Amino acid sequence: MSIEDEIILYTDGACSGNPGPGGWACILVHHTTETIRKLADGVENTTNNRMELMAVIKGLDSLKRPCRVRVVSDSQYVIRGMSEWVHQWIKNDWRRGPRKSQPVKNIDLWKTLVDLCNRHEVTFEHVPAHSGHSANEECDRMAVAATKALKNGKWKMEN
């Protein structure tokens, strides 16, 4: 795979209630050109973890060709899932727990994320939430706005 493009993908998810209406957001920054693309959307009945995963999935899925991607997220669930847990889940046929008897939660999204990571060269980096990291704070604002607008019946995704 020849990779010429380097992307930084900042992501965040939000949920009002858990489950409840939620939102995801991502900001893609092309490393060389510094071109910025922002994406966000809302989901009526979801969880915060699903929105965290969806932000990464939608960002990676928006890429037109294989890229080197650094995912920056405040979600330990996403970071640890992709860097620590996923390989064992796959080995155990997407089961977890002491006896490997429980299915992995959000398996549909984890499988999609694994497939997308196989198309790109992806690394994951954790940033503490609400620590003043400007791109993470912007993703948080976008995800919360999508959640609130959806909750108020006013959400319409614009591209």
Check which CATH number belongs to the domain holding 92 and give it. Answer: 3.30.420.10
User: Could you tell me the two tokens for 100?
Assistant: 């490997």
Which pLDDT does position 155 carry in this prediction?
54
Which pLDDT does position 154 carry in this prediction?
65
Structural domain including 10 reads 6-151
Q: What is the set of active-site residues?
A: 12-13, 52, 74, 130, 140
Inter-residue contact 151 to 30 (CB < 8 Å): no
Over pLDDT 70: what percentage of the chain? Answer: 94
pLDDT above 80: residue 141: yes
The pTM score is 0.92
Nearest to 85 by CA among 68, 73, 97: 97
Tell me what the pLDDT averaged over the chain comes to: 91
Structural domain count, the chain: 1
**Does 156 reside within a domain?**
no
Inter-residue contact 27 to 151 (CB < 8 Å): no
- What residue spans of 46-133 are helical by DSSP H? 48-61, 76-80, 86-91, 107-119
Inter-residue contact 70 to 9 (CB < 8 Å): yes
Phi, psi of 120 (to 5 degrees): -125, 170
